[in-house]
Structure 1
């Protein structure tokens, strides 16, 4: 095993431990200093996960400035997973946050109301099923009887289900083995506990940089692999102008990120405690940008939810459209 692989494993393990040990319901991180104006309208609390777009917005600082000028103070809270973040949103411990497509579906299926606000641009190349370079597996058609590692209900799990369906293979004809986090998954793959490893960026990029692999299939034409933005009903109903400013400044930060990917990689490398090289590789195949949720995006997210019902991961169907209630006037002019 290469020395760099052990370094990556240790870094990922440290990241997972530190994230899981974080008290996500108390305290704050970042934000602007209190001003007399900030005291007039109160605090807007934003939940984020390290390494994602709201993390970039926090580090860029443009939202803190914009809301401070309107009389608000921004408080940032970091969360280890999208599921925990959405739980905090549901209990009004935060006002605004983000989570993956899969996290959102499971939260809604659990009877928790969600308010979709916008979507990040699709990121299909950021999720993949890979094998070691010397594997006899050449395509999805070779997966029968093989052991495939994914996180339960994760973006790679959905990718696997879609790929199997396209190949005409029943999921019962493969051995799906669940791992709990990126550190466990990478360790199991290197020890040949999986024939095929499903993972996502930046951990996909780490695997590609430390193990000789081949990609069997990625999200292109299979999974949009989206991040969604959510807000509390109170924020949408009582402070819709704040939502508009958040989306506007989020998109501005995204556009800046597209033009400054090396700087973004350095920032996220520090935030995640990972080497900058795989972060750069992940960012190079990604386009940042906020999008208004239209019927096409709703249909894509509904397809994901229906697929998880079909696979037995969800017990009943849900309606994504019912959770997209945002007034189009709230969407800023720079978001399309």
Structure 2
């Protein structure tokens, strides 16, 4: 694992989705995802889109969040064994890449922030929202270097902002600029993964960086990056859990078991934040004190999707369509799992 030191944030490595992101052709993107999934053993029983030869749920996770703790503690395996399922895990550098894999059929379940599923649904991904974590607006921010002359979001006009395209912070930037009276088109954006954005931010290649925890907390602590704004009063910063339409229909009890495992881990994190930070530290290569700050800004819980949450997510979709960031309007309600009796 890459160690955290000085000016470098830990990189998550070239996962299947990261490789695919760097390839220009759709066919090559899909081929990269599939090849790596096969090499990792993720596609067992995938032929024909079915889990005929082995009953397995393939879960995509990111380097930080509830799912990586669920994997690390091994709690889910026991829950699913009773249902006749095993678990396969795959790591992704960010939400957009994880949902590319979901769309390609390489995973069955995962979680991301509020923006990635908008892009994925607009691209035709067969995703289904099955749960969410409560709002955590302090868990993402627009940062500037310690000595930057920029003091407010309005000062970003004509400046360059680094961010991961299609991630939660993409929506944060859109709404923060709107609140400040600055047109999105009046800001230059450069789309970089967190590790690459951190490097560009430190060498002065960009004026600001829109980023989420724990990278946000790490930059604030180690290089004294300063917030122009976090999500407070601007965006909710929800985390969502997804599966595919087919998997939701074929194995609803498995989806419920995974969500129950997520809830169990969330309750443990809330009750034991220091222990959770200590467990996260070797997984992400970030010191425990920084992770304690990041964890304090999250709401670790999982709840059923509500009409109010759907309405807020629809606002995200509408905003992206208005700006031409997605090619067509979408209805979030079309991708929400019906309530189970």
* Length-normalised TM-score, structure 1: 0.84
1:334 match: none
2:237 match: 225
Candidates 189, 212, 215, aligned match of 1:203? 215
1:12 match: 10
2:165 match: 152
Q: Mark the runs of 5 or more structure 2 residues left unpaired by the alignment.
A: 20-32, 43-52
Q: Mark the runs of 5 or more structure 1 residues left unpaired by the alignment.
A: 30-39, 330-336
Is 1:192 matched up with 2:190? no
1:18 Cα offset (Å): 6.6
- Encode CA deviations 1:232-263: one digit per residue, 9 max, x unaligned: 22332222222222212211111111112222
**In structure 1, how many angstroms separate the alpha carbons of the residues matched to 2:104 and 2:162?**
33
**In structure 2, how many angstroms separate the alpha carbons of the residues matched to 1:271 and 1:222?**
31
**In structure 1, how many angstroms separate the alpha carbons of the residues matched to 2:147 and 2:8?**
25
Aligned residues of 1:124 and 1:219 also touching (Cα < 8 A):
yes
CA 1:6–1:231 in 2, change beyond 3 Å: closer, same or farther? closer
CA 1:207–1:25 in 2, change beyond 3 Å: closer, same or farther? farther
1:204 Cα offset (Å): 0.6
Between the two proteins, the alignment pairs up a number of residues equal to 314
Candidates 317, 327, 334, aligned match of 1:305? 317
**In structure 2, how many angstroms separate the alpha carbons of the residues matched to 1:148 and 1:214?**
14
Is 1:137 matched up with 2:150? yes
- Encode CA deviations 1:276-333: one digit per residue, 9 max, x unaligned: 332222112212000111111111111111111222211211111111133333xxxx
CA 1:10–1:216 in 2, change beyond 3 Å: closer, same or farther? closer
Aligned residues of 1:126 and 1:285 also touching (Cα < 8 A):
yes
Greater displacement, 48-57 / 269-278: 269-278
1:9 Cα offset (Å): 4.1
1:37 match: none
**In structure 1, how many angstroms separate the alpha carbons of the residues matched to 2:157 and 2:199?**
23
1:33 match: none
1:78 match: 91
Q: How much is the aligned-residue C-alpha RMSD, in angstroms?
A: 2.6
What are the equivalent positions in structure 2 for 1:174-193 lying under 5 Å apart?
Answer: 174=187, 176-193=188-205
**In structure 2, how many angstroms separate the alpha carbons of the residues matched to 1:318 and 1:193?**
35
1:53 match: 66
Greater displacement, 96-105 / 84-93: 84-93
1:116 Cα offset (Å): 1.1
2:27 match: none
1:68 match: 81
Aligned residues of 1:28 and 1:77 also touching (Cα < 8 A):
no
Aligned residues of 2:4 and 2:10 also touching (Cα < 8 A):
no
CA 1:91–1:171 in 2, change beyond 3 Å: closer, same or farther? closer
* Length-normalised TM-score, structure 2: 0.83
2:100 match: 87
**In structure 2, how many angstroms separate the alpha carbons of the residues matched to 1:285 and 1:76?**
26
Is 1:260 matched up with 2:258? no
DSSP 3-state at the match of 2:106:
coil
